[in-house]
Structure 1
């Protein structure tokens, strides 16, 4: 899978990403990586060569990297998971130094379009902490519709957090087409 959208190339993580992923982990910066990324730099090569692809082959989802087309720099990650009965969940993260440039919005819009048109999904859903204003805005700008709130639904850093629930279906794609 490879999607080019705006300033981004969105594709599955691969061995060509080893140096950048290793540098992120060595610096303690996991914000551009999926939640199931390696814990240490020593695990990166195996994760890129096998684990990422096995995750997809096992039907658990797909981990995609957002690469800035001009520089080749990894700016974030986005993924699809929990595909069941034509529905899946999307999640994204952007490196702290690259936020505010529309990368999450662009990637969420492009990957959701792919999932709904080519991937056979009828619904793409997204959960974001209600206190993560940037993520909420990215979801809305990408064309997702807010459906409600899951109260105390996520446990992180020793406390419970509310999650906003968003969705996109194929009829939403027309409103999601134009960048905001």
Structure 2
């Protein structure tokens, strides 16, 4: 089980999605703009409340966390980040993130990946946090590097987009990196 998460950093409030987000999430779904929402987000407005309840259950069950990235000044949801694919015995999980197209390029993803990775390795009980990105997604590769993740290699032909396969770069942050990540940011 994970404890509730609330982190303030770099103009962001990072916290679990909850009932207070229903209107914004419903607006994203109604506009068919899911770039600020994690995979598995609701497909219809009618599913929003159940999905929000499920995000809490996921954390309490120890399956991961789904966190909203909010502009701290306005309260607007600008993106999301999650920790998923939890293996408690190995002490690892995987970070995934997304930022609304209109809010990209402001450092939100790198800030969130850095501080959520650090949280996972300290308060979250993980020993390793990994991040995978398609090798042709230059922006996502930069996010991983700026956030302090170490590139470990490439998983060849590991992703399928419905039309063709793609290589994935693998990055990680481990518990012994936490002090280094903090000192360089």
Return the TM-score normalized by structure 1: 0.95
Q: Distance in 2 between matches of 1:179 and 1:135?
A: 20
Corresponding position of 1:90: 95
Pairs within 5 Å for 1:60-79: 60-79=63-82
Corresponding position of 2:118: 113
Gaps (5+ residues) in structure 1? none
Gaps (5+ residues) in structure 2? none
| Structural RMSD (CA) | 1.3
Q: Any idea what the Cα deviations from partners look like across 1:19-63, whole Å, max 9, x if unmatched?
A: 111111111111100101101111112211x21112223332110
Corresponding position of 2:28: 24
Does the alignment pair 1:43 with 2:69? no
Query: Any runs of at least 4 consecutive aligned residues in structure 1 with deviations exceeding 6 A, and if so which?
Result: none
Q: Distance in 2 between matches of 1:142 and 1:81?
A: 18
Q: Secondary structure at the match of 1:114?
A: helix
Contact 1:143/1:173 (8 A) holds in 2: no
Moved more, 73-82 or 55-64: 55-64
Q: Distance in 1 between matches of 2:83 and 2:8?
A: 17
Contact 1:61/1:79 (8 A) holds in 2: yes
Q: Distance in 2 between matches of 1:128 and 1:55?
A: 24
Q: Distance in 2 between matches of 1:162 and 1:178?
A: 31
Does the alignment pair 1:149 with 2:154? yes
Deviation at 1:97, TM superposition (A): 0.3
Q: Secondary structure at the match of 2:180?
A: helix
Q: Secondary structure at the match of 1:177?
A: helix
Q: Secondary structure at the match of 2:143?
A: helix
